[in-house]
Structure formats: structure tokens, C-alpha cells
Amino acid sequence: MYKQLATAVGLALLVSACSSSSDDDPAPGLPIDQADSVVLEVTGFDASSHEVTFTLADDSGEPLTGAGDNYLLAFLGFSDQVISAYNMGWHHSEQFGCGEFVPQCLGELVSEEPGQYRFVPDVTPEWDESINQLKLMIHVAGERAASDWQTITL
């Protein structure tokens, strides 16, 4: 009787040890809406498609997840032409995003893996021949924190 009980207990322990699941492991990253800081770094730009890749983390380097609800990307094309009334260089912009910045979402923000994102515009901007400089403005926000506005020359 004791031998059967010991065998049953041993099998139960073996089955429970072998059936441990990675489902119990916490998902990597911190939801952006729980973050107290947002650090954004642009890591790539494809000039033909205008796809932008970037990372999001908090101040401690923890990757941020769930960032698709509140963001803005604007491409700014600059020319040497000057508007004389304001002595300001002529420019053209194409704006994309979602949330408070762009209520009807334009473009798609894809999470490649925790903290790594790829933005794909729904329409590739077409620039006039006079455009000689292209810049990107980008901003991503959660409920408690937002990235600094960044303007990057592409």
C-alpha cells in the first residue's frame, strides 16, 4: 500500500514539474500607460517607404509596450524657397499618428517585440522636386508620461 502511495505521489510530482508552463512568466516590458518616463530613440528610416523604426523604454531601460494609441509622426520637407512676407523657408508636411494628435488614425504602428516599433504610413509622402531637406518630428505618449518631442534630420 505504501509502495503504491509513494509511486502515485512520485508520479504526481513528476507530472506537475514537467507541465510547468511559460504562461506563468510575466511578459517582458512595461505597459506605456504605467510608465513614469518615456525615452524614444529613432533607430532607422527607409527613404522609399517612409517607414520609421524606433525604441521606447523608461528611464531605467525597461522596454515599453502597448504604444499604439497616442503618437504623432510628421515628415517635414524643406526647400530653399523663401516666403518673403515672413522670411521663412517654404516647407511641406505630412502628418500621421493616432489618439489626441490625430483622432482618425493615419498609418500603422507595429510592435516588433517589446520596446521596438515600426511605423508604416498608410500613404507614402511624395515630395516636390524643390525639397532638399527632410525632417521627422516624432512624439509618443502614455497616460502618465510622454517622450520629448524630437526633430530629426533624415
Average pLDDT over residues 68-97: 78
State the Cα–Cα distance between residues 114 and 44, nearest whole angstrom: 17
HSE-CB at 135 with a 13 A cutoff on CA atoms is 13
Q: Are 7 and 16 in contact (CB under 8 A)?
A: no
Per-residue pLDDT tens digits for 45-60: 998 999 999 999 999 9
Residue 78, pLDDT score: 83
Here the cell at position 99 is 489618439
Q: Which residues pair with 113 in a beta bridge?
A: 116
- What pLDDT does residue 130 have? 80
Task: Kindly give the pairing relationship between strand 88-98 and strand 39-45.
Answer: unpaired
Is 0.85 topped by the overall pTM?
no
The fold for domain 26-153 equals Immunoglobulin-like (2.60.40)
